[in-house]
Amino acid sequence: MALSDVKIRKAEIRDKPYKLSDGGGLFVLVKPNGSKIWQQKYRHFGKERLLSHGLYPDVTLAQARKKRDEARAQMANGDDPAVQKRLNQIEAETQSRRTFRLVAEEYLQMARDRELAETTLRKKIWHVETLAAPLLSDVSAYGSK
């Protein structure tokens, strides 16, 4: 039986987690602390997998159903939705690191263009290259500079 927003909102809190099924593998996991998590159970190459779609009410019933349908379309193409989701997260992290590198390089170029005192310029370069090095070094692993 399909879920409704009212059923999810009024789901009682129990001592143990339980599921409210919507169909197609999609369900809401109601936890003892009251949180409600959208999850989807599916099989990929015979192996049972679990995909999380977010917390209710941050992710609405309609959004969760849309995510379920997208995941099913990926499975129809032979892809594993959980792997695709992780690859998308890695790509987003990579893009944000590249953005930081570009901002840092732009900042240093602006400092050079302002014709600051040599010691001030060296200090700014030191700040970026030394203090922000962990953020910049992650980018180099992806071949970006």
Burial call 10-47: b when 16+ CB within 10 Å, e when fewer: ebeeeeeeeebebeebbbbbbeeeeebbbbbebebeee
Q: What is the pTM of this model?
A: 0.64
- The full 3-state SS of 40-76, as one line of letters, equals EEEEECCEEEEEEEEEECCCCHHHHHHHHHHHHHHHH
Peptide bond into 57 cis (omega under 30): yes
Say how far apart CA 129 and CA 135 lie, in whole Å.
10
Neighbours of 94 (CB within 10 A): 15
Return the H-helix or E-strand segment holding 39.
strand 36-44
Tens digit of each residue's pLDDT, the chain (145 residues) = 689 999 999 999 999 999 999 999 999 999 999 999 999 999 988 899 999 999 999 999 999 999 999 999 999 998 999 998 999 888 888 777 667 778 888 888 998 898 889 999 999 988 888 887 777 654 444 444 4
